[in-house]
Amino acid sequence: MQEEEIDALAIRTLTVAAVPAAHPYSRAVTDAARVRVIADPRPPGAPAGQWWPPQVLTPAWLAAHARDVDLVHVHFGLESFTPAELSEALVALHAAGRPVVFTVHDLENPQLGDQAAYLLLLDELVPAADELITLTDGAAREIAERWGRRATVIPHPSLLEDDVRRPAGTPVAVRRVGVHLRDLRPNIDGLGTVQTLAAAVAALRESGADVEAVVRLNERVRDGAQADAIAELVAGAAGVVLDRGPRLGDDALADWLADLDVCLLPYRHGTHSGWVELCFDLAVPVAGPPVGHAGSQHPDDFHPFAIGDSDGLAAAITRAIAEGSSPGSAERDREVLSRAALRAAERLRVRAAHLAVYARALGVAA
């Protein structure tokens, strides 16, 4: 059935409004030979490159352009709307005969602390979408339990293009654990994670392990008081250093991650993780809290611990180091190259799976 659906679309190129179009995920899942994704309409007064709030779901854009696209595929940006506004957009799209595909990346919004408003938006979109996609079996089960809807599970593809440099790290004598707290957005428990990490590193060093930790923090953060508390804590912790600076670009971030033996995730809530995917690409094991379904994206590389449980984190770090490769080693280099080939093949499957979903959605609309 899937091949028949795809073949039925071979005679033409689909035009899709992705929300947002400019996000790396939207590009990664798109078969550019079969699907044309229109550029994000610029919000009034916004600088070039800003896609939020998404104009595709506004009355003005829908009235002028809904019939210019075959379907709308929503990924991110729901928090820009009220439930009533989102409902109005869905009604307008269906009145124009245009189906809606929704990829449920987030059952909890990482940009928000209080989830109540976001859950109301999910209650509008999940039941009304013509097709649902999600990234893991666990998230699909949760969607079925909460809304009685079936979501097609399509794994998160690599966001690295095939020709992008994939660093394998620089060899050093010490084993290095790193956590990137970014700008301390609401789903990041920066202070709790660093407290747990500092205690775990102290215990590991006391037992004879040659381990150090690096805490990366952006210069510009959302919670200055928490950033100050983290800096004070790190200053008094042996074997832990603070690396604070401007937001890292893609290449610099890859280099930073590649130099780690273990990457620590600092999440207090969430559903899936792009960081898990980038770490997999770079063959860097992950230690993370059992939040959402991130642990099932690449379970062999994921070592769970609970924030606040330093003994559990020390054990997770020990397992990750024992099972993983060292930065700059020949083994790490081989792993990175092997995973690049696997991910290139996976991307083709992911794009074909999305095209099949679009075909079903168009069949529903017809």
What is the per-residue pLDDT across 184-219, written as a single tens digit (0 to 9) for each?
999 999 999 999 999 999 999 999 999 999 999 999
State which amino acid sits at residue 179.
Answer: V
- Cα(198)–Cα(191) distance, rounded to whole angstroms? 10
In percent, the amount of the chain with pLDDT more than 70 equals 96
Token pair recorded at residue 92: 């307008």
For the chain, what is the mean pLDDT? 95
Q: Summarize pLDDT for 20-56 with one digit per residue, the tens.
A: 999 999 999 999 999 999 999 999 999 988 999 999 9
Q: What structural domains does the chain harbor?
A: 2-158+345-365 (3.40.50), 175-328 (3.40.50.2000)
Nearest to 63 by CA among 38, 41, 93: 93
Least confident of 10-14, 34-38, 200-204, 322-326: 10-14
Distances, alpha carbon 261 to alpha carbons 89, 131, 141, 213, in Å? 46, 40, 33, 10
Contact indicator for 131, 361 with CB cutoff of 8 Å:
yes
Least confident of 11-15, 85-89, 317-321: 11-15
- Cα(321)–Cα(113) distance, rounded to whole angstroms? 33
Q: Summarize pLDDT for 123-170 with one digit per residue, the tens.
A: 999 999 999 999 999 999 999 999 999 999 999 999 998 888 899 999
Give the burial string for 210-227 (b: 16+ CB within 10 Å, else e). ebbbbbbbbeebebeebb
- Cα(43)–Cα(57) distance, rounded to whole angstroms? 11
pTM of the model: 0.95
Nearest to 103 by CA among 9, 22, 26: 26
Give 8's pLDDT tier (boundaries 50, 70, 90).
Answer: low
User: At residue 303, what are phi and psi to the nearest 5 degrees?
Assistant: -120, 105
